[in-house]
A and B are shown apart, each in its own frame.
Chain A
């Protein structure tokens, strides 16, 4: 290692030699960096899970445009929208189809006695193409009233209960006083407001929710004709429809929902704050490690300074240490974080996953934090007379 670095730098790799000389301190420093990494990763993981559960329902649909009431910020809040807006939309050039979407939560009392909240989507089974594969095939089978698709990843579900569905034996259960028959499955998993997902036909939905009206769905999903930019159609729809209606591309609506929930709702703000605190604590830990290291070697650095080494040399040493610490600390940090993600995911049913882009940005962040801390720590050396440092 020393030899390789010496070749690389064209000088003695003082930083590495200094770090590796005192093994116990090196391990303490690495543990510190790893801990800072874990801290940030866990907070980012939770925030990422929130983001994931917000956008996951949008990803069920193959629609191009989402039309909602103007006071709706998420899929589930705000007023309902008049179904006629869908018919009006059909009159706008470029619109191929518009289909209403009803959303509501039902309580599912399982055989093992636990209750799960299922977010239920009601849609016209005559338009299965509004779903992404493989749901576009199964949704067509929901014509028969009382049939539903159930989420096998529902939080708290006993794995055996739903196993027979794929073999063709429907799973029957009761909800809202009606008997439902699950004839197919999907796998979504729980979010922060529900434990799982249920998909039903519009007729089934309206029987499950007697107080909901066929004339007032939550949203209207719109597809555009082939080769037309949805953004153009969004503009046309905005011109054609009254201001009580909010129109955006499905992707745009998912992004706006995520933005709203992470910055304007308590859960999102708290998790965002957690990330901030995690980053700050991580920065402090890394700064402590590097500034202590510089302080401990001050008299040796002073000797080098007296010998005619300038500030770039010391920055070089500290950057070398920063890169080594960032890299060696990141490896255990990311492994431990991945294990914690698994645990969190198993315990909550939330999609807490290690993403490559997240891992990469945390590594870059660590590197940057180490380098900046090191640069600040060496400032003590810059102004001082060598004679005062011995």
Chain B
């Protein structure tokens, strides 16, 4: 599967609403993403970035066109296929979406348990490791209510990455983070791309991290208007 691109979008259209109120949000989008790369989706608000992200991430039913995710066609995919695919992905949302009654460790465990009931102690250790990676080693058993916004966001990142996803979808992951934390998150994602071939698609307005990306795709009114490769100095 190494040379098949993890995400291939062809002729994708999407509408919201029905009948008179029906409004097209995505217009004939074509996009192919290379394995292990970090792609940033940019554009003004309402340009369809998040819609495109959720369509590619199997969180929204494809209406028209083709999305091939990890080699599988999402248009017409059934619930079982979607569920199986989602387990191979990692999501980082704009809102942290942590479960309020679970501790930081338990929230991360939820990302691991979805793969099956393995050795609990090993899963717990993996969860702790992921949290420590993002500087939360002293907050392992805190409930979300007792964490700051940035800390919550970092727990959410740990949860998304703990299960070794093949593709990571991130919607404004750094919005709630300070410069350094944001940079750590993006650098981790980049490192994962290099080491494990993890592909990242990220929606962001954050100019601070643009330089770390491999490719910047700009959307306007549901269309791709600019697609540039970022060259890194060796």
A310 pairs with B83, CB closer than 8 A = yes
B86 pairs with A385, CB closer than 8 A = no
Q: Which residues of B contact A387 (CB under 8 A)?
A: 54, 59-60
A307 pairs with B99, CB closer than 8 A = no
The 0/1 profile, CB within 8 Å of A marked 1, for residues 83-109 of chain B is: 111111101010101111110001001
Cα-based distance from A300 to B100 in the complex (angstroms) = 8
Cα-based distance from A307 to B168 in the complex (angstroms) = 11
Residue A306 at the chain B interface, CB threshold 8 Å: yes
Q: Which residues of A contact B100 (CB under 8 A)?
A: 21, 300
Cα-based distance from A21 to B83 in the complex (angstroms) = 28
B97 pairs with A17, CB closer than 8 A = no
Tell me the nearest residue of chain A to B85, going by C-beta.
A308
Q: Which residues of A contact B101 (CB under 8 A)?
A: 14, 17-18, 20-22
Residue B61 at the chain A interface, CB threshold 8 Å: yes
Q: Which residues of A contact B87 (CB under 8 A)?
A: 307-308
Residue A388 at the chain B interface, CB threshold 8 Å: yes
Cα-based distance from A12 to B103 in the complex (angstroms) = 11
Given A14-B102, A21-B100, A385-B59, verify A307-B91 contact (CB < 8 Å). yes
Q: Which residues of B (38-66) have their CB < 8 Å from a CB of A?
A: 54, 57, 59-61
Given A12-B109, A14-B102, verify A303-B97 contact (CB < 8 Å). yes
Minimum CB–CB distance from B86 to chain A (whole Å) comes to 4
Task: Select the residue from A18, A305, A306, A307 with max chain B CB neighbours within 10 A.
Answer: A307
The 0/1 profile, CB within 8 Å of B marked 1, for residues 287-328 of chain A is: 000000000000110111111111100000000000000000
A10 pairs with B117, CB closer than 8 A = yes
Partner of B79, one of A300, A307, A311: A311
Q: Which residues of B contact A86 (CB under 8 A)?
A: none
Cα-based distance from A176 to B102 in the complex (angstroms) = 76
Assign chain B's interface to a size class.
20 to 34
Cα-based distance from A299 to B59 in the complex (angstroms) = 13
A14 pairs with B95, CB closer than 8 A = no
Residue B36 at the chain A interface, CB threshold 8 Å: no
Q: Which residues of A contact B86 (CB under 8 A)?
A: 305-308
Partner of A11, one of B80, B97, B113: B113
Given A12-B109, A21-B100, A390-B97, verify A309-B114 contact (CB < 8 Å). yes
Q: Which residues of B contact A385 (CB under 8 A)?
A: 54, 59-61
Given A11-B113, A387-B54, A387-B59, verify A300-B99 contact (CB < 8 Å). yes
A390 pairs with B110, CB closer than 8 A = no
Minimum CB–CB distance from A118 to chain B (whole Å) comes to 62
Tell me the nearest residue of chain B to A309, going by C-beta.
B114
Q: Which residues of A (4-38) have their CB < 8 Å from a CB of B?
A: 10-12, 14, 17-18, 20-22
Residue A386 at the chain B interface, CB threshold 8 Å: yes
The 0/1 profile, CB within 8 Å of B marked 1, for residues 359-390 of chain A is: 00000000000000000000000000111101
A388 pairs with B113, CB closer than 8 A = no
Q: Which residues of B contact A14 (CB under 8 A)?
A: 99, 101-102
B102 pairs with A17, CB closer than 8 A = yes
Cα-based distance from A22 to B109 in the complex (angstroms) = 21
B60 pairs with A306, CB closer than 8 A = no
A11 pairs with B79, CB closer than 8 A = no
B117 pairs with A308, CB closer than 8 A = no
Partner of A309, one of B83, B91, B98: B83
Minimum CB–CB distance from B38 to chain A (whole Å) comes to 20
Tell me the nearest residue of chain A to B94, going by C-beta.
A390
Cα-based distance from A17 to B100 in the complex (angstroms) = 9
A310 pairs with B102, CB closer than 8 A = no
Q: Which residues of B (215-230) have their CB < 8 Å from a CB of A?
A: none
Tell me the nearest residue of chain B to A304, going by C-beta.
B110
Q: Which residues of B contact A390 (CB under 8 A)?
A: 93, 95, 97
Residue B193 at the chain A interface, CB threshold 8 Å: no
Residue B111 at the chain A interface, CB threshold 8 Å: yes
Q: Which residues of A contact B93 (CB under 8 A)?
A: 303, 390
Tell me the nearest residue of chain A to B102, going by C-beta.
A17
B97 pairs with A300, CB closer than 8 A = yes
Partner of B59, one of A20, A304, A386: A386
Given A11-B117, A306-B59, verify A299-B97 contact (CB < 8 Å). yes
Cα-based distance from A311 to B89 in the complex (angstroms) = 18
Cα-based distance from A388 to B159 in the complex (angstroms) = 21
Minimum CB–CB distance from A175 to chain B (whole Å) comes to 69
Q: Which residues of B contact A303 (CB under 8 A)?
A: 91, 93, 97, 99
Tell me the nearest residue of chain B to A310, going by C-beta.
B83
Cα-based distance from A112 to B207 in the complex (angstroms) = 95
Cα-based distance from A306 to B169 in the complex (angstroms) = 11
Q: Which residues of A contact B60 (CB under 8 A)?
A: 385-388
Cα-based distance from A18 to B106 in the complex (angstroms) = 13
A307 pairs with B61, CB closer than 8 A = no
Cα-based distance from A306 to B87 in the complex (angstroms) = 8
Q: Which residues of A contact B113 (CB under 8 A)?
A: 11-12
Cα-based distance from A104 to B79 in the complex (angstroms) = 72
15 inter-chain pairs at a CB distance below 8 angstroms, sorted by A residue, are: A17-B106, A18-B99, A299-B97, A302-B97, A303-B97, A306-B91, A307-B86, A307-B110, A307-B111, A307-B114, A308-B86, A308-B88, A310-B80, A385-B60, A387-B54
The 5 closest A-B pairs by CB, nearest first: A21-B101, A308-B87, A308-B86, A387-B54, A387-B59
Question: Which residues in A have some Cβ–Cβ distance to B below 8 Å?
Answer: 10-12, 14, 17-18, 20-22, 299-300, 302-311, 385-388, 390
Given A12-B109, A22-B101, 14 more A-B residue pairs with CB atoms under 8 Å apart are A11-B113, A12-B102, A14-B102, A17-B102, A300-B99, A303-B91, A303-B99, A304-B99, A304-B110, A308-B87, A310-B83, A385-B54, A387-B60, A390-B97
